[in-house]
Amino acid sequence: MNAEPHFLAFETGGTKLVAGIAGRDARLSRMAVVRRMKGDKAAESFRSVLEVAEDLLADEGIRTSQLHAIGFGFGGTVQRSTNRPDLCLHEEGWEDVDVASELKLRFQVPVHVENDCKLAALAEAHFGAGKDARSVFYITLGTGVGGGFVLDGQILALGDLGETEIGHIVVDPDGPECCCGNRGCVEAMCSGPGLSNFCRVLAERHPSEWSRSALAEAGHGAMPVGSERIIRSWEAGDRFAERVVVQALQRLAVALAATINLLVPERVVVGGGLGTSSPKLLSLLGELIKPMVVPYFRQNYSLVGSTLREGAVTQGAAILASQRAGQPLS
């Protein structure tokens, strides 16, 4: 039997749910992923990830009495004052699930709920691409676009409903509609679905260039085109794909340069499926950002890709649980 203290960690994201176990050092030792089914409601998803966590504990021979705390990473807005998920744009019903109370009832330990991007930032700052930097800004480009800022190893928590919402900075007031209700947000062009939608918008504006594009040929002109295919066509030299990617990244660069000017992070870590899809994307983003950063800050930061990738949020949830339990990280 394993006698050291343990932490449970959860993640609910755009496409998956994850349960993980960490030991004294807060590093995840086991993780299990449940793919969400289209049409699933929050209560069902929560039940299935809870079952997975119980199986993990049983497999590892860990008793409930050995758990010290639980971290829960939520892919949406979290109300910190009530420790509850508030709004999720990917799956209905989370606002009605009191995950902290249910987990506390089941495992008898404190539960800490936090937004997934903040936890990914925390994980990258401790064990990933932000290690050894005093301040880390993390941005995810995936199903959505979100951000988190870690200073001296702690999440910078400023508002009851969060902060650092880089995905909803308006960078093009005439741009596409965003799921938040505004128009021209970073997320509306630079998330995976946003890039696909931006491709459609630009195809309507530049029909002849679109019709000559490999993207139109491959899909017989059908929309939407997936972000992965847009990136691969851009890498292969397609001119229309280049227009889509460069214009999207120019808008993202405006928001990221402003973020660097405001927060002066030592390290900017780019994660998410789209964000980690291409070294060329990261390199172009870096080139576009630099001229918009205040000259005297330009040498102070570096832009790097996530190293923890898929595991970042769950790892961050374990670190938060450990920090709140007063466990020093090794």
* Number of chain positions touching Zn ion (CB under 5 A): 5
Q: Which stretch binds Zn ion (CB under 5 A): 18-26, 103-111, 184-192, 296-304?
A: 184-192
- The smaller minimum CB distance to Zn ion, of residues 9 and 185, is found at 185
Q: Which amino acid appears at position 315 of this protein?
A: Q
Q: Pick the closer one to Zn ion by CB: 180 or 263.
A: 180
| 208: three-class secondary structure by DSSP | helix
> Closest Cα to residue 3, out of 61, 57, 59, 53?
61
Check binding of 182 to Zn ion (CB under 5 A). Answer: yes
Task: Give the residue, chosen from 180, 201, 263, 292, that forms a contact with Zn ion under the rule CB under 5 A.
Answer: 180
* By CB under 5 A, residue 251 contacts Zn ion: no
Q: Is the CB of 170 or the CB of 214 nearer to Zn ion?
A: 170
For 116-146, b/e burial (b = at least 16 CB within 10 A) is: bbbbbbbbbbbbbbbeebebbbbbbbbbbbb
* 178 touching Zn ion, by CB under 5 A: yes
Shortest spacing between CB 164 and Zn ion, in angstroms:
14
- Per CB under 5 A, 189 contacts Zn ion: no
CB of 286 to Zn ion, least distance (A): 24
Angstrom distance (rounded) from CA 124 to CA 156? 14
* 150 sits near Zn ion (criterion: CB under 5 A): no
- Residue 234 CB, shortest distance to Zn ion, in Å, is 24
Q: Near Zn ion by CB under 5 A, which window of 111-119, 171-179, 221-229, 289-297?
A: 171-179
Q: Is 66 in the site for Zn ion (CB under 5 A)?
A: no
- Of 112 and 168, which has the nearer Cβ to Zn ion? 168
Q: Which stretch binds Zn ion (CB under 5 A): 34-42, 167-175, 232-240, 271-279?
A: 167-175
For residue 284, state whether it binds Zn ion (rule: CB under 5 A).
no
Question: Residue 186, interface with Zn ion (CB under 5 A)?
Answer: no
Residue 87 CB, nearest approach to Zn ion (Å): 12
Asked if 252 touches Zn ion (CB under 5 A), the answer is no
Is 166 a binder of Zn ion (CB under 5 A)?
A: no
Does position 282 interact with Zn ion (CB under 5 A)? The reply is: no
| HEC readout, 275-293 | CCCCHHHHHHHHHHHHHHC
Q: Can you tell me whether residue 271 is helix, strand or coil? A: strand
* Matching residue, tokens 């089914």: 37
Residues 187 and 180: beta-carbon distance below 8 Å: yes
Rounded to the nearest whole angstrom, what is the least distance from the CB of residue 110 to Zn ion in the complex?
A: 33
Token pair, residue 258, equals: 């402003």
Residue 89 sits in the site that holds Zn ion (CB under 5 A): no
Between 6 and 168, CB nearer to Zn ion: 168
Distance CA 294, CA 34 (A): 44
Which residues, in sequence order, are CB contacts of 274 under 8 Å at separation 6+? 141, 142, 190, 191, 192, 195, 227, 231, 281
Q: List the one residue out of 7, 6, 8, 11 whose CA is nearest residue 314.
A: 11
Q: Within 10 A of 47 (CB to CB), how many other CB atoms are there?
A: 12
Nearer to Zn ion, 168 or 243 (CB): 168
| Six token digits for residue 136 | 């880390």
Helix (H) / strand (E) element for 70: namely strand 67-74
The answer to whether 185 contacts Zn ion (rule: CB under 5 A) is: yes
DSSP state of 37: P
What are the structure tokens assigned to 201, written together?
């918008």
Considering the rule CB under 5 A, would residue 129 count as an interface residue with Zn ion?
Answer: no
Query: Would you tell me which residues interact with Zn ion (CB under 5 A)?
Result: 168, 178, 180, 182, 185
